[in-house]
């Protein structure tokens, strides 16, 4: 692998996706904003998108996708060393969405953090995990792209609300001495385009302006200068794909499939023309899901695998672009058994389910312990007595689990 020098390779060995059940069609949007089905399809290729309900969130969708990926990989959550969630719609500013998912999975050995690189975030995250694996510092990583974009939409802005949907996708990466896996990656950013696509929020210069920014941008709502973003995307896709291929020592003729960020069907067609490739070389599901930001590439990858478009030995390109401005490309040589041959053993499935249940009870027990400690501290301020009580609680907690 170019640039490795360690003989350690990072292979994708598990994958999974989760989308809300709720569907918002173009016809439905006609009742919300001044638009119509024909206008949307002609300009974006989108017919419908998934919208999270009140019980669904970035974390719950990411958790479901992660469970699926662990099933395919047939590994236990306790084996994970690192969890990265790429998202522009985190559950909180902190704690991270990754930490919530880490707790729900019962991945007690894993570090966890969120990564913000907009629609490029998933490729960024996979590269971060790959570098950690190649360095020898970790063995297994879970990378999730998860979004609830519907929660940051201005539903009066037809330039953005027609484009986005909710969902999550995840992959498990594992160290191996078998050559292949992630061969190269190119990560880029142009911060001068910060005013073309973004979401003003806490800490921004607009925060004291009565929820409306100096440029007319609403607080906590997405804005986009569509024409400029379109030109940016069509330019950088071809450039970054060629650069990633060059680093991997491959050419356009070696590509078996490109899995791009699902932003707009016109962008995908333009990228195909600029690279001189047939559009069928590009995986596309934007028609059914719209733009799910950091979740779009892993969701598209999962569906490509399900459709039989990914085979052992195939050279894939993942390419994303979005707010920042950011863009990223990655070359992956596929090298895992076919999905139907990677069914988890019954014993492993049972252990995973037990892990999830134990994790839920452990979290509840820890919260109860903290609440009880606070209560005891208020009632019995004498230090020695509190320490003895806390020791008893800690002992009960460890014995019970």
pLDDT at 283 over 90: yes
Tell me what pLDDT residue 341 has. Answer: 45
Catalytically annotated residue among 26, 119, 161, 302: 119
Write down the pTM of the prediction. 0.87
Tell me what pLDDT residue 202 has. Answer: 75
Confidence of residue 347 (pLDDT cuts 50, 70, 90): low
Question: 312 catalytic, yes or no?
Answer: no
Catalytically annotated residue among 161, 264, 291, 302: 291
Cβ atoms of residues 171 and 116 within 8 Å: no
- What pLDDT digit, counting tens, does each position of 216-237 carry? 688 889 999 999 999 999 999 9
Strand partners, 317: 258, 331
Q: Average pLDDT for residues 121-136, to the nearest whole number?
A: 98
Tell me what pLDDT residue 208 has. Answer: 47
- What pLDDT digit, counting tens, does each position of 315-333 carry? 999 999 999 999 999 999 9
**Which tokens is 100 given?**
């919530």
Confidence of residue 355 (pLDDT cuts 50, 70, 90): confident
pLDDT at 365 over 80: no
Catalytically annotated residue among 11, 261, 264, 302: 261
Q: Domains in the chain, ordered, with CATH?
A: 9-184+227-341 (3.40.47.10), 346-400 (no CATH)
Q: Cβ contacts of residue 46 below 8 Å, gap of 6+?
A: 26, 40, 162, 163, 264, 265, 286, 287, 290, 291
Question: 261 catalytic, yes or no?
Answer: yes
Q: Cβ contacts of residue 225 below 8 Å, gap of 6+?
A: 195, 196, 197
Nearest Cα neighbor of 57 from 144, 145, 148 is: 148
Q: 17-21, 159-163, 336-340 — which is least confidently predicted?
A: 336-340
Question: 119 catalytic, yes or no?
Answer: yes
């Amino acid at each position: 692998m170019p640039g490795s020098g360690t003989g350690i390779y990072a292979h994708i060995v598990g994958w999974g996706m989760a989308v809300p059940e709720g569907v918002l069609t173009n016809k439905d949007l006609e009742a919300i904003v001044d638009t119509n089905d024909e206008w949307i399809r002609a300009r974006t290729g989108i017919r419908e998108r998934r919208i999270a309900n009140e019980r669904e969130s970035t974390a719950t969708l990411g958790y479901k996708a992660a469970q699926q990926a662990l099933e395919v990989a047939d590994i236990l959550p306790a084996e994970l060393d690192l969890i990265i969630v790429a998202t522009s719609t985190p559950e909180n500013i902190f704690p991270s969405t990754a930490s919530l998912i880490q707790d729900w999975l019962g991945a007690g050995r894993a570090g966890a953090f969120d990564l913000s690189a907009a629609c490029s975030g998933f490729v960024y995250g996979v590269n971060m995990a790959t570098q950690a694996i190649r360095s020898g510092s970790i063995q297994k990583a879970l990378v999730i792209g998860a979004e609830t974009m519907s929660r940051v939409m201005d539903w009066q802005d037809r330039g953005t609300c027609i484009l986005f949907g909710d969902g999550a996708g995840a992959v498990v990466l594992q160290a191996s001495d078998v050559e292949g896996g992630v061969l190269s990656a190119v990560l880029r950013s142009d911060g001068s385009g910060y005013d073309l696509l973004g979401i003003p929020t806490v800490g921004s210069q607009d925060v004291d302006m009565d929820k409306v920014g100096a440029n007319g941008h609403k607080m906590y709502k997405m804005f986009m200068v569509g024409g400029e973003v379109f030109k940016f995307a069509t330019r950088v896709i071809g450039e970054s794909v060629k650069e990633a291929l060059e680093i991997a020592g491959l050419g356009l003729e070696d590509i078996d499939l490109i899995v791009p960020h699902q932003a707009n069907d016109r962008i995908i067609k333009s990228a195909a023309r600029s690279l001189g490739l047939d559009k069928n070389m590009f995986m596309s599901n934007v028609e059914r899901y719209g733009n799910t930001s950091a979740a779009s590439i892993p969701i598209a990858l999962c569906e490509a695998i399900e459709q039989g478009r990914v085979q052992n030995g195939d050279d894939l390109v993942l390419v994303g672009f979005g707010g920042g401005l950011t863009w990223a490309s990655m070359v992956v040589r596929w090298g895992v058994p076919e999905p139907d041959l990677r069914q988890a053993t019954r014993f492993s499935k049972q252990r995973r389910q037990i892990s999830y249940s134990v994790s839920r009870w452990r979290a509840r027990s820890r919260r109860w312990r903290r609440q009880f400690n606070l209560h005891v501290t208020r009632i019995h301020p004498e230090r020695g007595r509190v320490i003895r009580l806390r020791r008893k609680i800690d002992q009960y907690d460890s014995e019970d689990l």
